[in-house]
Amino acid sequence: MAEFFWTDDLCTGSPLIDEDHRRLIAYVNALFEAMETAGPSDAMREAMSDLVQYTREHFGREEAEMERVRYVASLAHKSEHTNLMRQIVALKEMLESGGKINVPAVEAFLSEWLREHIVRSDSKLAAALERGARAV
């Protein structure tokens, strides 16, 4: 089964963000499991819906932190969030309307997006939060 493994390079150094990411990854893995074992079903739609909801909450928390420290790269970072939200909401709607998905392609897309975003963007945000915290 495909599984998204937590690796040390995903540690941003921000306890708030890292804790959220661990939970987010648990939701991603629950979706992978449901897609592979249950196929098109209520279980899969539920896992997708849980992932969409948690992702929205998590992005909201990161964006609130960006506002708090007046993060300079917030526009670019938020637009990455908006793009992913658009894609996973489209996926969720497709599943709800009985559409079929390419499971390995969805798994690869989500895994790559998350890993890239965490390593390239969230780590920079975490460093800015750390600087912001020190400046107080």
Footprint of Fe ion on this chain (CB under 5 A)?
62, 122
Q: Which CB, 44 or 88, lies closer to Fe ion? A: 88
- Tell me the closest approach of the beta carbon of residue 122 to Fe ion, in angstroms: 5
Residue 4, CA distances (Å) to 9, 64, 84 in order? 13, 27, 17
Residue 120, CA distances (Å) to 75, 83, 85 in order? 15, 16, 18
Q: Which CB, 29 or 55, lies closer to Fe ion? A: 55
Record the tokens describing residue 16, joined without a space: 């708030």
- Work out the angle between the directed axes of helices 123-135 and 15-37 (0-180°, nearest 10): 150
Residue 49: other Cβ atoms inside 10 A: 14
- Tell me the closest approach of the beta carbon of residue 66 to Fe ion, in angstroms: 9
Q: Which CB, 46 or 63, lies closer to Fe ion? A: 63
- Do the Cβ atoms of 77 and 125 come closer than 8 Å? yes
Q: Which CB, 12 or 29, lies closer to Fe ion? A: 12
